[in-house]
Amino acid sequence: MTNPTPQTMGQQFGRRSWAEPWKIKMVEPLRMVSRDERERALVEAGYNTFLLRSDDVYIDLLTDSGTSAMSDRQWAGMMIGDESYAGSRNFYHLEDAVQRRYGFRHILPTHQGRGAENLISQVAIKAGQFVPGNMYFTTTRLHQELAGGHFVDVIIDEAHDPEDLHEFKGNVDLAKLQALIDREGAEQIAYVSLAGTVNMAGGQPVSMANIRAVRELCTRHGIRLFLDATRLVENSFFIQEREAGFAERSIAEILLEFCSYADGAWMSAKKDNLVNIGGWLAVNEDDLFEELRNLVVVYEGLHTYGGLAGRDMEALAIGIDESVQDDHVRSRIGQVRYLGELLTDWGIPIVQPVGGHAIFLDARRFYPHIPQDEFPAQTVAAELYLDSGIRSMERGIASAGRNATTGDHNRPKLELTRLTIPRRVYTQAHMDVVAESVKAVYDVRESTRGLRMTYEPKYLRFFQARFERL
């Protein structure tokens, strides 16, 4: 694979400059927090950025989940919410939007992505079965495990190397998948769990050629293929940009083709779909849908609202249509890339190539003197907050949790700190501030010490764990 030359969006159009394809109608003032306040807030939060109050944060790059700015059309949609308990007209708008844009037959709303993950895991996994996937995601794997499944990582090796420049680092390694099927038998595989882009690998895409090949393998062995559609629109941008034959096709067309190879998908609509809360589950098989439609009543709500208000479903239906517009996606990924280019120019170690939704600082190279058991990525997040009030998050040993059998830490190869860019929220000037703060923290890296975990919750520990300085 060739090394994709990073380009800001303006350069892609043959010019130096580019601008966001929106103008600002309402502003939310930001609070500057003093160094003393930040020191106090960080200790109170146990050095965990998830435990900071947002009032103590200046630029919030914790996540791109539920943090998007909605458009004037989405806000207008909120006003035509039909809050009937059953059969809300907004549900039918949502159903229509998912069917048109993603191409699946049956749709259920859920309160967010993990609600959908719970349902599909309970219905499609039998205890003891294996669930191969292109790198784990925290909530996805947990639901698969709670349903009695064993997650098996079948992503290509390049995905675990932050310096490898493979253009589609989210791809499944077909030999690894075949070996698992040969070893365990096809009937022991619950389904293949394919995410695009791959969050934990640094927002890395899956190619169209790869999903076609995975589909072919699954069909040959009678195995279902389900997508984590959370950032599939962003995945479609990378296919358009990098894969031969797709440059002239719209992101919307690419998305539809990608989904046509899957049997269904779960979605955290809080990302690509531009809403602050919501999710959905979609499948093609009638029998499977019937089971899911029954189960949704237990965990989420009736199948025509699934935990969402009518107004939320309307904003989501409109957000889906806005999210697949080429201009929007180019500018969104362009902003991420702009920040990545600044950091790369200054020699700061980040995951390459820059992915879709975030810059991932490579904490192993950032703090080579801090061993993984002293939480280098958590340390980067703490130091960045101290320097400027910018909030990022850990994606390393704390996020990886413990091995269910041995009880020891899972030690992922990737030890990363994520600077996640909300959609349509910050300007390029904010990205300059972020880049300069990262550089300031990097410049004093040698004198920085790691952390010790002082409190560890049982599930998804990174959300609520507490630390202190060594």
Ligand X SMILES: Cc1ncc(COP(=O)(O)O)c(C=O)c1O
* Active centre residues (catalytic): 85, 137-138, 228, 271, 395, 462
Residue given tokens 């040969």 in the structure block: 182
Report the site for ligand X in 377-406 (rule: CB under 6 A).
none
Structure-block tokens of residue 429: 């000037």
Please check whether residue 368 is in contact with residue 422, taking contact to mean a CB–CB distance below 8 angstroms.
no
User: In this structure, are residues 267 and 281 in contact, taking their beta carbons and an 8 Å threshold?
Assistant: yes
- The reply on whether position 204 binds ligand X by CB under 6 A is no
φ, ψ for residue 436, nearest 5 deg: -65, -35
151 part of the interface to ligand X, by CB under 6 A: no
Phi, psi of 96 (to 5 degrees): -65, -40
| Residue 179 Cβ vs ligand X, minimum distance, rounded to whole Å | 25
Stretch that binds ligand X, among 86-94, 110-118, 217-225, 424-432 (CB under 6 A): 110-118
Question: Is 113 an interacting residue with respect to ligand X (CB under 6 A)?
Answer: yes
End-to-end Cα spacing for the chain: 43
**Tokens representing 397?**
């040993």
Residue selected from 137, 237, 367, 426 as contacting ligand X according to rule CB under 6 A = 137
110 near ligand X, rule: CB under 6 A: no
Tell me how far, at minimum, the Cβ of 25 lies from ligand X, in Å.
27
> Taking the complex as a whole, how short is the minimal distance between the CB of residue 416 and ligand X, in angstroms?
14
**E-strand spans in 279-395?**
279-283, 358-362, 390-391, 393-395
Among 195, 214, 318, 361, binds ligand X (CB under 6 A): 195
Among 199, 236, 240, 420, binds ligand X (CB under 6 A): 199
DSSP bridge partners of 280: 109, 267
Which one among 230, 236, 331, 417 touches ligand X, defined by CB under 6 A?
Answer: 230
Least distance in angstroms from the C-beta of 43 to ligand X? 27
Q: CA dihedral in degrees (336, 324, 238, 63; nearest 10)?
A: 40
Find the DSSP H helices in 207-309: 208-221, 232-242, 251-260, 286-299
Of 135 and 397, which CB lies nearer to ligand X in the complex structure? 135
DSSP 57-96: -SEE-S-SSS-PPPPHHHHHHHTT----SSS-HHHHHHHH
The β-bridge relationship of strands 150-153 and 130-133 is parallel
Smaller CB separation from ligand X, 112 or 372: 112
Q: Is 279 in the site for ligand X (CB under 6 A)?
A: yes
Provide the minimum distance between the beta carbon of 115 and ligand X in the complex, in angstroms, as a whole number: 7
Site size toward ligand X, by CB under 6 A: 14
Rounded to whole angstroms, how far apart are CA atoms 445 and 440?
9
Q: Taking contact as CB under 6 A, which single stretch among the options 68-76, 133-141, 246-254, 410-418 is the one that binds ligand X?
A: 133-141
Residue 137 or 426: the one with the smaller Cβ distance to ligand X is: 137
Q: Does 139 bind ligand X (CB under 6 A)?
A: yes
Check: CB of residue 195 under 8 Å from CB of residue 230: yes
293 Cα distance to chain centroid: 26
> Based on CB atoms, which residue is closest to ligand X, 42 or 393?
393
* Residues making contact with ligand X (CB under 6 A): 65, 112-114, 137, 139-140, 195, 199, 228, 230, 268, 270, 279
